[in-house]
Structure formats: C-alpha cells, structure tokens
Amino acid sequence: MPMTATTVLTARALLLDMDGTLVNSDAVVERCWRRWADRHGLDGDEVMKVVHGRQGHASMAVLLPDRPMEQNHADNARMLAEETADMDGVIEVSGAAAFLASLAGLPHALVTSADVALSTARMAAAGLPLPELRITAESVGASKPDPEGFLKAAAELGVAPADCVVFEDSGAGIAAGRAAGMRVVGVGSRAGLHGPDALVQDLTEVRVESTPEGAIRLHLG
C-alpha cells in the first residue's frame, strides 16, 4: 500500500540490490525457475517463494536439501547461463534510471546475487548504468540472507554499516540488510511482507539530495 506521508532517511552510502529493485526481471526468473521445478518434480509456486534474492545454489539447497552442494553449484552454473541468454521482458523498475542518475558522485554500490555476466546483461537490457562498485556472486562466499555482500560493500566504500541504507525487494535481501545492521527500504509489494524500515512501490517514490556535510538524504513516498 502506498505511503501516505514522506519518510526521510539520512545515510552516507546506499547499497542497491538489482533484481526486483532496479531491474524487473520477474518474467525471466519465473520462466527459468518454473522449468527447473518441472525438471525436478517440484511445485512451481513453492519454488517461486524461495528463489527471489538468493543465489541459485542457495535456493537449490533449500529446495533439494538431500542433494550434494557440488551438484547445486553445477546446476546453478547452467541456470545462470540460461538466464543470461534470456533478456525477454527485462525492463527497469519504474524510476530506476532517474534514481541512479541522482546518485552520481554519491557513495553507492550494487549488491546482487547475480554473477558478473548476468548482472551486466540485465542492467544493459534495462538501459541502466552499472555502479562503479559492484558486489556480485563471485565476490562473496555466502549468499543472501547472509549479510556478507552488504558488509563487503560498506567496507569497500569506507562507510559504517549503521550509516548505510539498503534498497531491496526480497525477504532474503531484507534479512541480509538487517543482519548487516543497516536500515532497509523495501521496493514493491513483495518487500512489504518482510517488514522493511520503509516501503516504496517503485523508485519514482524516492528523491535523493546531498547535504552540505556530504550525507545523502532520502525522501521516500
């Protein structure tokens, strides 16, 4: 539900998820994961409740708990290739291009469960510029909901976790931001189910200004 009043948050850095937050890739995620569910005799709706926000092998570990992790990693590599080859219907989340443009010169990073190839392809397909700092699947040892990616981004930007604001759409991502000790802005209706600190329907509801002290002030709503 839309926010009725504007919420103002102040931060020193913004950490941005990609899928569902900057890029609407739901169509391709659904296509690839429902095919995967069919191959494994799993219920597609149940699979879709798990996969958003996590790296593929981490989703597989939840869905097929008895399968060896090396099989999940091999399967995940195939899934990433499949997803990277399918950009049909990949578009920006409303307001993403303007939002990223407003962050020029301000500390921010992309923190995604996608790998370099997939994140580069999806951002390009959506017509979005890649932030200078990118934490991808290759950068971390643990997938969201583990906070490693967000903590690594904060460290590389030289900003304390408490001074970062995370933008996320998924339960796994919101949990990761929380575990990192950061405030979380939820983007879209899916995010609202997971208790973010603030919620916007899309990025047209976000206005960014920099303060004279070099902080970032967010107006949400």
The string of DSSP codes covering 97-125 is HHHHHHTTTS-EEEE-SS-HHHHHHHHHH
Q: Return all residues near 31 (Cβ < 8 A) that are at least 6 apart.
A: 86
Q: β-strand 198-200 against 183-187: which pairing, if any?
A: parallel
Among 217, 106, 122, 112, which Cα is nearest to 157's? 106
Q: Is 88 a catalytic residue?
A: no
Q: Is 202 a catalytic residue?
A: no
Q: What is the DSSP letter of 20?
A: T
Residue 107 in tokens: 């500390």
Virtual torsion, Cα 40, 44, 46, 50, nearest 10 deg: 80
Residue 166 in tokens: 């995370």
Query: Which residue is catalytic, options 19, 115, 146, 163?
Result: 19
R_g of the chain, CA atoms, integer Å: 17
Q: Which residues are catalytic, by number?
A: 17, 19
